[in-house]
Amino acid sequence: AQSVSQHNHHVILSEAASLELGCNYSYGGTVNLFWYVQYPGQHLQLLLKYFSGDPLVKGIKGFEAEFIKSKFSFNLRKPSVQWSDTAEYFCAVNAGENTGFQKLVFGTGTRLLVSP
């Protein structure tokens, strides 16, 4: 079965620190990978996605992620975090390829707290 692992459940950083959140997936087929963010009290929003091509993907708000196929990883990075980045971050893989329909499998999430 497909699965997604996020290694860090809670991360606390000071403003301007660099961020890297780990994500590993287990899926044998062609993968579509995503990072979603959930700000306090808000709905999930798409940060970035990878389908194919350049493994370094740039998203909104200065976030980027790198797909490393050999490591089954899709880590999220940001060079300098801001207080407004405090949120929960979810990595997800689209595991519905065989059916032709989408079925997102999410990781358990990482809560990021950025202190001013």
Partner 1 sequence: DSGVTQTPKHLITATGQRVTLRCSPRSGDLSVYWYQQSLDQGLQFLIQYYNGEERAKGNILERFSAQQFPDLHSELNLSSLELGDSALYFCASSVGGRSSYNEQFFGPGTRLTVL
Binding site for partner 1 (CB under 8 A): 32, 36, 42-46, 49, 51, 90, 94, 96, 99-109
Cβ of 11: how many Cβ atoms within 10 Å?
16
Question: Which residues does residue 3 pair with via DSSP β-bridges, in sequence order?
Answer: 26
Nearer residue to partner 1 within complex by CB, 18 or 102:
102
The nearest distance, CB 34 to partner 1, in angstroms, is: 9
Interatomic CA distance for residues 38 and 52, integer angstroms: 25
The nearest distance, CB 116 to partner 1, in angstroms, is: 27
Nearer residue to partner 1 within complex by CB, 28 or 116:
28
The nearest distance, CB 29 to partner 1, in angstroms, is: 14
Interatomic CA distance for residues 6 and 56, integer angstroms: 19
Nearer residue to partner 1 within complex by CB, 13 or 104:
104
Cβ of 7: how many Cβ atoms within 10 Å?
12
Nearer residue to partner 1 within complex by CB, 100 or 116:
100
Interatomic CA distance for residues 94 and 82, integer angstroms: 29
